[in-house]
A and B are shown apart, each in its own frame.
Chain A
Amino acid sequence: MEGRHVLFIVLAIVILVIAPMMFLFHDELGTQSSREVVIYTSVDQVYSEPVFFEFEKRTGIHVRALYDVEAAKTTGLVNRLIAEKAHPQADVFWSGEIVQTMLLEQEGVLGRYDSPSAADIPPQYKSPNGSWTGFGGRGRVLLINTQRLGTTPAPGSIYDFFDERYPAGSLGIAYPMFGTASTHAAALYAVLGRNEAQAFFNRLSDRGVRVVDGNSVVRDLVANGQLTFGLTDTDDACGAVERGAPVIIVLPDQETTGLGTLIIPNTVAVIAGAPHEQEARQFVDYLLNRDTEAQLVQSGWIQIPVREGGIVNPCMNSTGIRMMNTSYSEIFPNLAQSQQDLREIFIR
């Protein structure tokens, strides 16, 4: 073989094989800064990514984020964290809800950290042993398409899913085994008791209420007029309002005799044995900062700030909300049972 052929082959190998691999793996080969933090988050990428960019800009710490998909909201990440418990890959878990975080606490996945940024957060939003901290909440609301509703009175309670004035095929909920819908189901178990809560969901299923694979799907179907109303989160509902859809948001069961509205806070926690603990704590401090909470309210992810006064929600009035008469520590023990029961009702 001629020398120039050998040279050509060697050059081709360098260019085609080694160069892309060097580029691909330059972080792991240590040619860049090694300060990084790995964050598993169930918060929609649209909202969480700007927070990560801002944190990177301020601290120089590289954020490696792992997002989840709508159909597996939170549950997929939680199971992954439990599977990785012996060899944690993540440093921080940022969830858009609370009950799955409490599950991780129970499994011993979370470390302990009392962030100075959380000093002004009310105690009911913090873990008693410092495993997690809650901030900025979303509410479970009814999103109603006014065009499709017409002259029929607007619903005001989750029990209006059984009202014959609203055809069952025009009503929707997200699968109550995942994400905030799962938390809401566990809350109903806590407030109503297992039997009554099971009966509630059985009746939903028997009636033929549409069950779809996420809160954003409920939002889209209501906004597009394919559903009259649905049960979703305030961030999805406000998104539809902002896009000019013909919808209104109703906080359900606000009467004095009603169940109240479930408020679900975001939660953040440092993972036990996190590979980058210092950086993890820095990120938690940043996330729990009042300014970051205000930023998330402005971006539309949070509608109900946990801090008193000062942070205005452009989408809806978040003051004076009558919350469900239960605590998160009462909701959590009902999670597993509710998920099991609901899997039987809605998947099998």
Chain B
Amino acid sequence: MHSTIHGKVFSGRIVRFMILLLLLLPILLPIGIILVLFCTSLVRGDPGVTTQLAWSGRSGLLLVKSTVYAAVCAVSALLIGILYATAIPRFSPRVSRAMIVLIIALLPIPPYIHALAWNNVLSAFNTLISGTSYQPFALQGWVMAWWVQVMAFLPFACLIGIIALHAISRDLIDAARVASPDITVLSKIMIPISYPVLSAGFGFLFLLGITEYSVPSLFSVETYALDIFAAFSATNAVAVACATALPLIAVAVCVLVFCQPGFRALGEFPGWTGTGSSPLQDWPAWFSFLQFSVVILIILQVGVLVFGTAGSMGSLPGIGAAISTSGREIAYSLEIGILAVLIGIPLAVGIVSLIPKGNYMKNVFWMVVTLSLAIPSSLIGMGLLTLFATTTIGPVIRLLLPVLAGIVRFLPVAIIIISAQVHMIDPVLMDAARFVGDVGSASYRRVVLPMVAPGIFIAAVFLFSLTLGELGATLLVAAPGHQTLTMKIYNYLHYGSFSAVAGLSVLMAGITIIITLLTLFGIGMWIQRFRLFGSDAHD
């Protein structure tokens, strides 16, 4: 009987593992196929591939520049995010809530809208000072690319800062404050404790910065990620592009490994509801100055987004014309986003429910799940194209490729959010649910589902917004005549035709902000309805 129980347990684990592998296939297959193609070409001694593998000064320098650029953007954004998180408790509870809602509302705005807004505002500023002796702002180059990328990263970085600092035990902070000033408590206790979450934030921002080329290319900055795309375009050979990408992937995977504990901490030990706002209030003057500067910067960022896009929209008939001629792109983009959610969220829920037990297997799990974050977006597009060779698939499958691109790239984010939500559920409540009925029973669903739902909704918003703004892979897999709004705006922006896309950018930003705020409102109502995470639930 003992061996029978062991046998059943073992075969149960195998079944769970097989199902988990099946659910992870959408992420792993495109990556696997390009690796297979590359290895096959390498073994065959394909001269195109072996030539690409030969290291050159130019490639090396470009990789170093791209790595430094991504790292500087991530660190800059995170520093601002931490300052913002420490500034929030200085304001009244109502203002503090508004500051958090503001950040969440800004989260889904695609980076190219930040590029458009800042370009327009700085161009207007340059026009204002054109008759004076002041030097105009350079609207191209690394500095501009860095600034816009940081602005695009800011909402996420601020959210990471809020999560990191709010998850620390209040008792611990109070105890530390007895012996040390607040600035020391922050630097020597809170930051080190929240290091895993902060490192995950850095990792995510760095990987986004190094694997994407959309923002730098809009400011005439060449990055290694663009070289990978150019290599594929010049040769139409995935293996050559993969050979070009190898050094970048190596750097990205190293960062991924370094930040793994953080990703795992985010997904499994969130404490996101924390114990309320930080009690730290007693800051030195220089730190207070930095905090208020950051708050002003966020407000400025909102102003730039509003005036930088709305300000260049031109006449209402012009806006109407721009939107009406982009009806197909708008509809297609919304469809892609919705389908990514409808397919991706159940996948993410299924994957989270099958997270292995055991420390080692969990480490492997999180490494595999987050692997696609380290793969350049254009390479993922190439993998999908190879997997679903355009000459043999039907038109319907071809139209689904941008959906798959969004899922492959951003499913890890959904998995982390849903996992965090699941891990926030009080185990006592889970046991109570099982006591009331089996897993799968209506009673069980009435207890578990309401508690997991907020995480599912947030994951859906993230997946929708990130898929909507995805460019690198979508450019390669989109079928003729099926352009997403992001592709159209990027093409026009790259040409420098800002006024033509300002109206579309406002529309895009408006859609994502409204959906996010509605979701937030819905989650708030849901939490109140089921009395989750508040004092009622824990009394």
Contact = CB atoms under 8 A, between A and B. Distances in A.
B222 A212 contact: yes
Contact of A239 (B141, B331, B335, B496): B496
A104 to B, nearest CB: 13
Interface stretch (A21-29, A150-158, A193-201, A304-312): A21-29
A24 B222 contact: no
B480 A39 contact: yes
Main DSSP-derived SS at the A contact region: mixed
A127 interface: no
Interface string A53-96: 10000000011111111111001100110111011011000000
A252 interface: no
A347 B229 contact: no
Interface in A11-27: 16-17, 20-21, 23-25
Nearest to A52: B481
Given A38-B480, A76-B233, A16 B222 contact: no
A221 interface: yes
Contacts of B138: 224, 226
B230 A213 contact: yes
A71 B233 contact: yes
Interface stretch (B273-281, B291-299, B389-397): B389-397
A223 to B, nearest CB: 9
A346 B227 CA distance: 12
B480 A24 contact: no
B222 A86 contact: no
A49 B335 CA distance: 22
B538 interface: no
B449 to A, nearest CB: 13
A40 interface: yes
B494 A69 contact: yes
Nearest to A25: B396
B480 A89 contact: yes
Contacts of B391: 84, 86-87, 89
Nearest to B54: A348
Contacts of A49: 325
A17 B136 CA distance: 51
B528 to A, nearest CB: 22
Nearest to A235: B495
Contact of A23 (B222, B236, B335): B335
Given A28-B399, A46-B495, A348-B56, A72 B233 contact: yes
B511 to A, nearest CB: 15
Interface residues of B, number: 54
Contacts of A39: 480
B339 A21 contact: yes
B480 A40 contact: yes
Contacts of B339: 20-21, 24
Interface residues of A, number: 61
Given A71-B217, A71-B230, A83 B491 contact: no
B342 interface: yes
Contacts of A69: 229, 475, 490-491, 494
B170 interface: no
A143 interface: no
A118 interface: no
A1 interface: yes
A249 to B, nearest CB: 17
Contact of A75 (B234, B331, B390, B497): B234
A220 B235 contact: no
Most buried by B among A65, A226, A348: A348
B500 interface: yes
A265 interface: no
B332 interface: yes
Given A20-B338, A24-B335, A220 B399 contact: no
B396 A44 contact: no
A339 B392 CA distance: 32
Given A46-B497, A213-B230, A28 B395 contact: yes
A243 B500 CA distance: 14
B226 interface: yes
A76 B217 CA distance: 17
A16 to B, nearest CB: 6
Interface in B338-367: 338-339, 342
A46 B492 contact: yes
Contact of B481 (A63, A177, A346): A63
Contacts of B481: 36, 38, 62-66
Interface of B: 51, 54, 56, 58-59, 136, 138-141, 217, 220, 222, 226-227, 229-230, 232-236, 325, 331-332, 335, 338-339, 342, 390-392, 394-396, 399, 442, 475, 478-483, 487-488, 490-492, 494-497, 500
30 contacts: A17-B342, A20-B335, A21-B339, A23-B331, A24-B335, A36-B481, A44-B491, A44-B495, A46-B495, A63-B481, A65-B483, A66-B478, A67-B491, A69-B494, A70-B217, A70-B494, A71-B229, A72-B229, A79-B234, A89-B390, A177-B234, A212-B222, A216-B496, A220-B220, A224-B139, A226-B138, A239-B496, A346-B58, A347-B58, A348-B59
